[in-house]
Chains A and B, each alone.
Chain A
Amino acid sequence: MKRILSILILLPFLLNGQDTIITNSDPVQDYISLSNKRDRPIPKKHHLSTTSYLTVESDDLNSSFLNSMLFGGFITDEMKDKWINSGDESNQINAEITNGIRYQYTTYNLNSYYFQFSDVNLINSSFSDDLLKLTFHGNYDYQEETLDFSNTVIRADRYQQYKVGYGYSKWIKTDYLKISTALSYLVGNHHAQLNINKGSLYTSEMGTYLNLNYDINTMMTDSSNLSPFVGNGKGMAVDFALSYTKDYNTFGIHIRDLGYINWNKSSIIANTDSSFNFTGIEVNDFNSLPEFNDSIMDISFSQNTSSFRSFIPARITLSYSKTLEHKYFNSISIFSHSRWQPYQVKGGLNWDLFHRGFKESGYTTSLDVSSNIDLKYINSTIGFSVGGFTDGTKILLTLSDKKGIFTIGTYHLNELFKKDKTSLSAFIQLQTRF
C-alpha cells in the first residue's frame, strides 16, 4: 500500500522530473503501475492539487549575484571579479516561478479529464563574461581590448495558462496504453526580450576612440500598464503524451506546452544595427569650442509598435520507468528532457525554426535518473540530473507524507550545502483525492 501510494504520489511528479513546472500527478498512471491488476484499487474520481514551484539556475553566477540583483546593496570589485571569473565565458541564468491548481476527474474505465490553471513567470538569459565586464567594470580597464557581448539574450515572460486535458486509457491484455492530450489558453501579461545578435566594443589606448558594433533587437509589450494581470496578449499551447506499460516497464513520451502568445499591437518592436567608430566631436575651430557635454553618442533605434509572437518553452520528455521489487526502492526512472523555444519566427514554419528552437532555448538536453524510496514515515524520491541550464550534476530530493497530501522537494539538493550557490529550486505541492 505504501508502495502504491508512493508511486501514486511521486511517479507522475517524477515523470516530469526537474523540468516540471506544474506537477501533473496522474493517479491513473500511478494505478496502472502496480504489478498485479488485482491489487489495483479503483482510483478515486476526484483529484485536486496545488503546486508552487521556484527555480533559479545559473551555470556560473552564484547566489551572491542573485541576492545583489534582487535585494540591492553595493557590488564591490571583489564581487564583480568573482562573478566574472567563475565558470566559463558564457553565463546562463534561468528562473521560473509558477503557481498552479489542478482538478482531475477519473472515470470508471480510467479515462480522465482535467482542468489546470497556472500563473507562470519566466526569465531566461544568456550572456558573455564580456558583458559583465562592461556592465560592472566599464571599459577603462579594457583599453586595447575588444569586449564581445554578442549572442546576449534576455527573455522574460509572465502569463496565465488555462489548460483542459483528456486522457484515454486502454488495457491491451495486461499492457496498458495511455494517451493524453491537452489544450491551453494563454493570457499574456508581459513580455520583454532583448537580443544582441552582434555586439562588441573596442576601446583604444587612452580612450582616443571607441569602436562599437551592435545589432540589437528588442520586443516588449506595452509598458504603460504594469499591472501583473494586464492582458497584453493571447495564445495557445498543446500537450501530447503517450505512455505504454508492459509488465513492470513503462515507456513514455510527453510533449508539453508547445505553444505561443501573440502580443497586441501596442507592443514595441525596436531594432538597431550599426557599426561606428567614435572619436569624439571633431573640432575645427579652436576659437569656438563645442559644448563640453554635447551628446557623445547617438544610437538611434528604429522603433515601431506592432504585434509580435513569442513562444513559451515547450518541454519534451522521453521516459522509462521500471517498478522494482525491493524493500526500499520501489522504482527507478530515467528521463531525458529537452526544451524548444525559439526567439522569434523568421520565415514561417520550417526546419530552421525547428532546429533553432532547441538551440535558442538555452537548454541542454538533460538526463535524469531517480528512484522512489519507501521509508517508514515518509516517501522520498532521490536522483541526479545532468544537463539543462547548468553544467554540473544536480541532486534532486522530494519528501512527502505517506498519504501524499503534502510534498516538498528540490532539484538542487547539492547546492544547499554550498556557500556560493549557483542554483536554487524548491517546490511544494498539496493534493487531495476524494
Chain B
Amino acid sequence: MKKTVYITLLSIFIFSCKHDLEKPTWEVDIITPIAHSELSISDLINQNETIVDQQIGSDSLVSLVYSADLLQTNYDNLLDIQSTTNEKMFRIDSVKFDDVVIEHNITIGSIITELGVLGPILYPDGQDRDIPAMPGVVQNDTIDIDASEYFETMTLYNGKMNLEITNGFPTDISNMSFMLYNSISLNLIATFNIPLIESGATYTESVSVAGETLDQIMLGIINNMDIEASGGLVPINYTDAISTTVSITEIQIMEATAYFPNQLLHEEIVEQSFNLGTTKLTEIGIKEGYISIIATSSLPDTISILYFIPSLTKYGVPFEELVKIPPNINTTPTSLYFNCDGYIMDLKGQVGRIGGDTVNTIYSEMHIYLDSTGELETINRVDSFNLYNEFNIVPEYAKWYIGQDTLLLSPETKNTSIFESITNGTIDLKEANLNLSIQNYVGADASISFQQFSSDNTNDNHPPTSVTTDQNGANIIGNPYFIERATLNNENIIIPTLININLDASDMLEILPNQTTVAATFMLNPNGEQAVEDFLYIDYPISATLDASIPLSFIANNLTISKTIEIDLSSDTELEIDELYISIENGIPLSAKVDVILLDQHNNTLDTLVRNTNIICANTDTENRVTTASNNLITITNTEFNNVRNMKIVASFTTSSITEHIDIYSYYTMKVNLSARFKQIIGE
C-alpha cells in the first residue's frame, strides 16, 4: 500500500510540472558597416562620365585636362581621280583577208590526146616534130576555180581578180579568150582576151571585182585558144603545160561568209589626262581602285584586247592585261574590272615624249585582235566593236603640286556637358591653359585663321566670352597662323610640323559654359606652288586639336553641383534599419552643404534623406594646405527605401579660403563609411 502511495505521488510529482518547451525571444541592437569608400579628387573626377581627364603634376597638384579635335581636313576632292574615257567605236572594214590563189594547168599531152588516135602517133612524146598551126585547138573548155577553202561567198567592196597565164608549150598560143563566171549565179565576173602568148612567156592581167559577189566555186571558160605553127622541129614533151593562175587580191569585204584569220583589228596608243584643277601631280600611289573596260562587240568571233599601261606599275612591273570580249548577245556590254590596289601611277605621260614630261597624264596602249575560231563566220562590214575605260582611284598619296585649297570652317557651335551638373555658385580659377595644336603631315604649306572662338553660358544672360591673345600677345581672332610643310625622310616616313597657340581660357571657363563656337579658314599652299615637291598622304592629313589644362587651384563659393544617380535601395530581407550613419573623414579643403533626396522611378520625391547637412572642410595651415582631416557624422533615421530608384544629390562646395586660391593635390582624400544600426528580434 505504501509503495502504491509512493509511486502515485511520484508520478503526480513528475508529470504535474510538465511544461511545453518554447523558444525565448529577445531584441538585439546591432551596428555594422555597410560600405566604405576612399575618394580622392581623381576618383571624384572619374565618377563623372565626361571626357575630362586628369593629370597629376610632380608636386601632386591635380589638373583637369580635356582634349578635342578641332579640325580634320579631308582631301578627297583634291585628289579626285575618277575619269571615264570617251567611247571608241571600230568598224570591221579593217578586217583583212588573205589572197585567194587558184592554179590550173593544160598539158600538151592532153591536147594531143584530144586529137584522136593519130595524135600520139603523129606527135609522140619525147620526139621532135614540126607542129603546124592549129587554130581553135581549145574551145569552150571549162576550168573549175575552187575557192571553197577560203570562203563560201564573198561580196567585195574592193578587190582585184588577177589572171596569169604561162605558156609552157614549145609553140606560141594566140587568140585566147578566157571568161570567169560564178558557178551558182552564173553571172560573169571577168573577161580576158589575150592575142598572143609566146612560148615560155607569161601573160598577166588584172580586173577590179569591187562590188562583185563571188561564189566559192567559179567557172573559168576558155572560149578559144589557137596554137601557132612551130616553124621547125620542136621537142614534144607531153608534160609541157599552159599554167593558168587565177587570184583575188586586195580583198576588202563588204560581207563574207569565210574563214577569217587571227588578225589585229585596231590599236590605240594614247595619253590620257585627268582634270585636277590647279593640282599638278606627277605621281599617285593608289590605295585602292580599279580600271574598267566596258565593251560591246557585234562580231561573231571573240575579240581579244591587250591593255598595256606603262604608267601604271606595281613593284616595277607595268600594268598589262589580255582580256577576251565574247560576242555580245542582246547588246549586253561586257564589263571588265582590273584591280589596281597598290599600284603607282606615273602622271608624267609617255616616256620620252616630245616636249618633255607633263603632269596629270598617263600613257596607255590598247591592241584589239580578232580571234578566229577556224570556223566559217559571216562578217558584215557594219559589224563594230565599242568600248570605253573608267578610272576609279582612291589615292594613298600624291606628289608634286597638290594645288591651292581653301577650307572654310563655318561657325560651329558645340554643346558641352562638362559643367552641366553645376547649377549655382561661382568659381575663380587661378589659371586655365588652352593650347591649340596644329600638326601638319602634308608636304605643303598651310595657314589657319580664326574668325570666331568663344564660349557661352546660355543660362546667364551674358554675351559669349571670346578668346583674347596668344602667348605672343597677338590677337587670336583674325591672325593668320602659318604652318610649314611636312617632310619625308629617306625611308619615306613623314616628319610632321607643329605649331601651338596658347591662350589663357580662365575667363572662358569661369562662366561655366555650355556652348563653344569656332569658325576658321584653313588654306593649303597659301603662297602657291613652290620649288619643293608637295606630297600628300590621305591618311595623314592636317589635324588641329584643342587641349585644355586646368590646374585645380581655385576659389569656389557655393559652387553647387546637382546629380541624380540610379540606385536601388530596396531590400528583400526583413531587416529594418533603424539608423544609418555616414561617417566622413574629409581630407579635402572643401566644405559642403549637402541635400540628398530619394526619388522613385519617375523621379518623384519620396523622402529627403539629408537636408542642409554641413560637411566641414579639412583643417589647413596658413598656406592653405591640409594638415588634418575633419570628422563628420550624418545620422539618418526612419527612412523607407523600398521604392527608391534614384537619388538626387545637391552639394554646394566652398573652399576653405574665399580670398586665396586653394590647391587640390592628388593625395587629398575623403573617406566615407556607411554603417547601419538595426534591431532584430531573435527567436521569432
Type the 1/0 row for B558-584, where 1 means its CB is closer than 8 Å to any CB of A: 000000011111111101000001010
Do A207 and B25 have beta carbons less than 8 Å apart? no
| Whole-angstrom distance between the Cβ of B30 and the nearest chain A Cβ | 4
Closest to B39 in A: A286
Within 8 A of B (CB), among A246-287: 278-287
A101 CB, min distance to chain B CBs, angstroms: 14
Chain B, 621-664, CB within 8 A of any chain A CB: 633, 641
Most buried by B among A135, A209, A280: A280
A72 close to B22 (CB less than 8 A):
yes
B28 — nearest CB in chain A belongs to which residue? A138
- Tell which of A52, A206, A293, A401 touches B583, judged by Cβ atoms closer than 8 Å: A206
In residues 445-498 of chain B, which contact A (Cβ within 8 Å)?
none
Q: Say how far B195's CB is from chain A's closest CB, in angstroms.
A: 120
Q: Tell me the smallest distance from the CB of B575 to a CB of chain A, in Å.
A: 7
Chain B contacts with A in 665-681, Cβ cutoff 8 A: 673-677, 679-680
Whole-angstrom distance between the Cβ of A142 and the nearest chain B Cβ: 9
Whether A279 contacts B568 by the Cβ 8 Å rule is: no
A296 vs B31: C-alpha distance in the bound complex, in angstroms?
12
Known: A287-B565, A405-B6. A137 touches B33 (CB 8 A): no
What B residues does A75 contact at CB under 8 A?
24-26
Question: What per-residue 1/0 map shows which CB atoms of B1-32 lie under 8 Å from chain A?
Answer: 01100110010011000011111111011111
Choose among B28, B49, B565, B641 the residue with the greatest number of A CB atoms under 10 Å from its CB.
B28
21 contacts between A and B (CB under 8 A): A68-B24, A69-B24, A70-B21, A74-B26, A136-B26, A137-B28, A139-B31, A140-B29, A207-B675, A207-B676, A209-B673, A279-B673, A282-B36, A282-B37, A286-B47, A289-B565, A293-B575, A401-B2, A406-B6, A428-B13, A430-B10
Q: How far is the CA of A137 from the CA of B28 in the complex (A)?
A: 5
Q: B43 on the interface (CB 8 Å rule)?
A: yes
A291 within 8 A of B: yes
For chain A, residues 40 to 85, give those with C-beta under 8 angstroms from any C-beta of chain B: 52, 68-75, 80
Choose among A74, A140, A283, A291 the residue that contacts B31 (Cβ–Cβ < 8 A).
A140
* A36 on interface, CB distance cutoff 8 Å: no
A210 at the interface (CB under 8 A from B): yes
Within 8 Å of chain B (Cβ to Cβ): is A350? no
Which residues of A have CB within 8 Å of B14?
Answer: 52
Q: Which of B24, B30, B49, B569 contacts A140 (CB 8 A)?
A: B30
Q: What count of chain A residues pass the 8 Å CB interface test? A: 45
Q: Are A279 and B33 in contact (CB under 8 A)?
A: yes
State the Cβ distance, B253 to closest chain A Cβ, in Å: 87
Check if B26 sits within 8 Å of A80, measured CB to CB.
Answer: yes
**Chain B: CB-nearest residue to A138:** B28
Q: Provide the residues of chain A in CB contact with B24, threshold 8 Å.
A: 68-69, 72-75
Contact size range, B: 35 or more
What CA separation (Å) do A282 and B43 show in the bound complex? 13
Contact A281 B34 (CB under 8 A): yes
> Is there contact, CB below 8 Å, between A140 and B677?
yes
A135 to B583, CA, bound (A): 26
Q: A29 on the interface (CB 8 Å rule)?
A: no
B-contact 0/1 string along A406-432, CB 8 Å cutoff: 100000000000000000000010100
Determine whether A208 belongs to the interface, using a CB cutoff of 8 Å to chain B: yes
* B35, CB-defined interface residue at 8 Å: yes
Which residues of chain B are near A406, meaning CB under 8 Å? 3, 6, 10
Extra 10 A-B pairs, beta carbons < 8 Å, given A74-B25, A80-B26, A289-B567: A70-B21, A73-B24, A207-B677, A208-B583, A209-B36, A279-B36, A280-B674, A281-B34, A282-B35, A428-B13
| Chain B residues with CB below 8 A from A208, complex form | 33, 36, 583, 673, 675
B680: chain A residues at CB < 8 Å are 138
**A residues near B583, Cβ cutoff 8 Å:** 206, 208
Please tell me if A434 contacts chain B, counting CB pairs below 8 Å.
no
Q: Does A128 have its Cβ within 8 Å of any Cβ on chain B?
A: no
Nearest chain B residue, comparing its CB with the CB of A428: B10
The listed residue (A136, A278, A285, A405) touching B28 by CB distance below 8 A is: A136
A residues in contact with B673, CB < 8 Å: 206, 208-209, 279-280
Contacts of B31 in A (CB 8 A): 138-140, 143, 203, 206-207
Partner of A296, one of B23, B28, B34: B34
* In the complex, chain A residues whose CB is within 8 Å of the CB of B677: 140, 207
Residues of B within 8 A of A351 (CB): none
Return B201 CB to nearest CB of chain A, in Å: 117
Q: Contact partner of B47 among A137, A210, A287, CB < 8 A? A: A287
Please, how many angstroms separate the alpha-carbon atoms of A280 and B581 in the complex? 13
With a cutoff of 8 Å between Cβ atoms, the chain B residues found around residue A73 in the complex are 22, 24-25
Look across to chain A and name the residue whose beta carbon is closest to the beta carbon of B46. Answer: A285
Asked whether, in the complex, the Cβ of A139 is within 8 Å of the Cβ of B30, the reply is yes
Q: Which of A67-110 contact B (CB under 8 A)?
A: 68-75, 80
Could you tell me the distance between the alpha carbons of A373 and B577 in the complex, rounded to whole angstroms? Answer: 64
Residues from chain A with a CB closer than 8 A to the CB of B676 are: 207
The digit string for B334-350, where 1 denotes a CB below 8 A from any CB of A, is 00000000000000000
State whether B47 touches A405 (Cβ < 8 A). Answer: no
Q: Is the Cβ of B633 less than 8 Å from the Cβ of A206?
A: yes
Note all chain A residues with C-beta closer than 8 A to B26.
74-75, 80, 136
Q: Which of A71, A74, A283 contacts B35 (CB 8 A)?
A: A283
State how many angstroms separate the Cβ of B54 from the closest Cβ of chain A. Answer: 16
In the bound assembly, the distance between CA atoms of A69 and B25 in angstroms comes to 9
A290 at the interface (CB under 8 A from B): yes
**How many Å lie between the Cα of A203 and that of B20 in the bound state?**
38
Expressed in whole angstroms, the Cα–Cα distance for A70 and B23 within the complex equals 7
- Once the chains are docked, how many angstroms separate the CA of A71 from the CA of B23? 7
- Could you tell me the distance between the alpha carbons of A420 and B14 in the complex, rounded to whole angstroms? 22
Q: Which residue of B lies closest to A76 (CB)?
A: B26
> Which chain B residues lie closer than 8 Å to A325 at the CB level?
none
From 28 to 70 in chain B, residues with beta carbon under 8 angstroms from any chain A beta carbon are 28-37, 43, 47, 49
Chain B residues, Cβ within 8 Å of A74: 24-26
The complex places the Cα of A283 from the Cα of B35 at a distance, in Å, of: 7
Query: In the complex, are the beta carbons of A209 and B33 less than 8 A apart?
Result: yes
Shortest distance from the beta carbon of B126 to any chain A beta carbon, whole Å: 126
| In contact, B19 and A292 (Cβ under 8 angstroms) | no
Partner of B37, one of A278, A283, A296, A428: A283
Across the interface, name the chain B residue whose C-beta is closest to A54.
B14
Q: Is the CB of B33 within 8 A of A292?
A: no
In the complex, what distance in Å separates the CA atom of A406 from the CA atom of B611? 77
- Do the beta carbons of A430 and B6 come within 8 Å of each other? yes
What is the 8 Å Cβ interface bit string for chain B, positions 213-236, against chain A (1 contact, 0 not)?
A: 000000000000000000000000
Contact A290 B581 (CB under 8 A): no
Known: A206-B633, A279-B673, A405-B3. A292 touches B34 (CB 8 A): yes
Please, which residue of chain B has its CB at the minimum distance from the CB of A69?
A: B24
Task: Give A141 to B28 CA distance when docked, in angstroms.
Answer: 10
Which residues does chain A contribute within 8 Å of B566, judged by CB atoms?
287
In whole Å, how far is B175's beta carbon from the nearest beta carbon of chain A? 122
User: Is A280 within 8 A of B575, CB to CB?
Assistant: no
A426 closest partner in B (C-beta): B13
Contact residues in B for A206 (Cβ distance below 8 Å): 31, 581, 583, 633, 673, 675
Q: Contacts of B569 on A, CB cut-off 8 Å? A: 292
Q: Which of A137, A279, A281 contacts B29 (CB 8 A)?
A: A137
- Asked if A293 and B573 make an inter-chain contact with CB atoms under 8 angstroms apart, the answer reads yes
Residue of A nearest to B565 (CB): A287
* Nearest B residue to A136, CB-CB: B26
Query: Do B571 and A293 touch across chains, with their CB atoms under 8 A apart?
Result: yes
Interface residues of B in 227-258 (CB under 8 A from A): none
Contact B28 A135 (CB under 8 A): yes
The answer to whether B29 touches A278 (Cβ under 8 A) is no
Q: Is the CB of A138 within 8 A of B29?
A: yes
- How near does chain A come to B204, taking the closest CB pair, in angstroms? 107
